[in-house]
Amino acid sequence: MGTRISPSSGPPRRVRLRYALVGAALAVTVGVASWTAVGPLRLTGSQQAASSQDAPAAVTEPAHEHSSAPAAPAGPEPTQSAAKKSPTRSASPSSSSHQGNHPKPVPGDYVLAENPVTGVTPSTKTPPRKAHREFQANCSVSHRRDDDPIVFFNKPGASHNHTFMGNTTTKANSTTESLLAGSTLCRVPGDRSGYWMPTVFDGDRAIEPTGPQVIYYKSGVRDYTSVRPFPVGLRYLVGSPTTTAEQFAKAPGYQKGWECGDSYDNVDFPATCRSGSQLNIRMQAPSCWDGKHLDTPDHISHIVYPVDGVCPKTHPVAVPMLEFKMAFPVSGDMSKVRLASGRGFTFHYDFYNAWDAPTLNALVTHCINAGRQCDARGYSQFEPEAGAALDEHYQVPGSRKVLDRGGWTATASGVSRGSEPAKMLDGDPRSRFTSGTPMVDGQSVTVDMRSARSVSGISLLSNGSDYARRYQVYLSNDGSNWGSPVASGPGAETIAADFAPRNARYIRVVQTGSASNWWSVAEFVAFTR
């Protein structure tokens, strides 16, 4: 998604002149708001007030706190290309920037939005006060790689080691299209975005966050009603692997630094953490987009922090403010704890948007624009009467039709007494099918829908850590001939598998991973479009 300006032909003359004059800080026409990239978010009824406590601290210039200064010594190097510098996609190096030895920008490094947002005036309104304007994206770790598809696009192994969350396919050559076609370990199946950060090491042992991590989507501006969804394909960096301790502490996204137990506001890793505690970090992202670029050569110039709760005229489009809230299971002596990028103050993260647009729009409208504090479904426990933005399957209501399970039967390759597969069809998530043995490749459940019907997806809900570690989905009309899988991927507490609509009577899900846990399914649901 988005138009990349060809390096060979270069941009049109007017664009070349503009780049030559102002680089990535392109002026955006100010006037009456009109846009096509993201539809208008119109609210009715009571829209309550913005709280300044969630907005980043004001800065004198609307820019990231990045530096070309070399990082302080990082101690022992990780075994996987730990502290490599990060040039952009071009080949020839030039002056350094926040990511180290950057090459000189070329036109091909500017990725233009297919539907730019123009004619926007930054909102200076102050709507009714609301303490929270947010929802959560709960995403688990999927893998680690020495890759960075934003900074080192199509260069496998060129980066320091990153821990990836959300999209399970993110790698050096990932594109918007490949991410949208991938699977996800986020609780909302429509969030196929890539989220990644430098890996935490204790000595040479990688420390990965356990379970779904909290990634907040908030309003970073005073007028939370003006926030719009990210355009598909937007990507950027937050923080820098070359920042100094002083720069890290003064960065607009800084949120009390590293924490563990009763120790907080640490710029670097604490010397010790109380046994059994976790190492935590929070960091906020910029949230004012220029309305034109999905990416720029330095991967930051197209999106900046607001100033005093208002977006600057050069970047007038308010988008959600991400806030990483990561928890690492490490404690005790912290002397050997480090990042793949260096010391604790080199923490940073990357975001590559691959949300299903209607799903993201529903959450932004229902939670951020309405001033609610929502969970991943878009439900606020403080306003239960408002309902949720998404249905019980974390889908936009009405976007799919749930097939009636009346008369359906189910069998399994193995079962624990009292936990028969019929329990995953009874509509009660408190009951469940359980395999009765630890997970091994080849375990399966088969559902007979009693007659052939059009099927375009399934959802498996598990409770806790008993979800399938990997899965494959097969369809059949006679229960004997299955052909190739129509969907496959890594497991999650909620598995949502979409595929092209097909007529079938039988659906089989094969558990292809391994774990000491028994495999359980609380609810099995099939969809049609």
CB atoms within 10 A of CB 479: 13
For the chain, count helices (H), then strands (E). 4, 33
How confident is the model over 226-246, as pLDDT tens digits?
999 999 999 999 999 999 999
pLDDT at residue 279 is higher than 50? yes
pLDDT at residue 93 is higher than 60? no
Banded model confidence at residue 2, pLDDT cuts 50, 70, 90: low
Nearest CA to 351 out of 489, 474, 211, 238 is that of 238
Q: What is the DSSP string of 20-53?
A: HHHTT------SS-EESSS------S---BB-GG
pLDDT, average across residues 383-397: 92
Banded model confidence at residue 465, pLDDT cuts 50, 70, 90: confident
* Predicted pLDDT at 227: 98
pLDDT, average across residues 142-151: 95
Q: Which amino acid is at 359?
A: T
pLDDT at residue 446 is higher than 80? yes
Nearest CA to 213 out of 349, 377, 324 is that of 324
How confident is the model over 284-315, as pLDDT tens digits?
999 999 999 999 999 999 999 999 999 999 99
pLDDT at residue 75 is higher than 80? no
How confident is the model over 426-443, as pLDDT tens digits?
999 899 999 999 999 999
Whether residue 279 contacts residue 28, with contact meaning beta carbons closer than 8 Å, is answered with no
* Predicted pLDDT at 89: 33
Q: Mean pLDDT score of the chain, rounded to an integer?
A: 82
Beta strands at 263-266 and 272-273: parallel, antiparallel or unpaired = unpaired
Q: What is the DSSP string of 352-403?
A: E--B-HHHHHHHIIIIITTT-B--TTS--TT-GGG--SS-TTSS-TTSSEEP
CA distances to 19, 34, 326 from 22, in Å: 5, 24, 36
Query: In angstroms, rounded to a whole number, what is the distance separating the alpha carbons of residues 226 and 210?
Result: 35
pLDDT, average across residues 356-382: 97
pLDDT, average across residues 196-221: 95
Q: List the structure tokens of 37.
A: 């990239």
Domain boundaries, the chain: 112-386, 401-528
* Predicted pLDDT at 86: 34
Q: In CATH, what is the architecture of 401-528?
A: Sandwich (2.60)
Could you tell me the sign of the dihedral formed by the alpha carbons of 378, 381, 383, 386, in that order?
Answer: positive
Q: Which helix (H) or strand (E) holds 143?
A: strand 141-145
Query: In angstroms, rounded to a whole number, what is the distance separating the alpha carbons of residues 277 and 259?
Result: 10
pLDDT, average across residues 497-501: 83
Question: Residue 121: is it exposed, middle or buried by C-beta count within 10 angstroms (0-12/13-18/19+)?
Answer: middle
How confident is the model over 165-194, as pLDDT tens digits?
999 899 999 999 999 988 888 989 899 999
Question: Residue 524: is it exposed, middle or buried by C-beta count within 10 angstroms (0-12/13-18/19+)?
Answer: buried
Annotate 317-340 with three-state secondary structure. EECCEEEEEEEECCCEECCCEEEC
Task: Give percent of the chain with pLDDT exceeding 90.
Answer: 67
* Predicted pLDDT at 322: 98
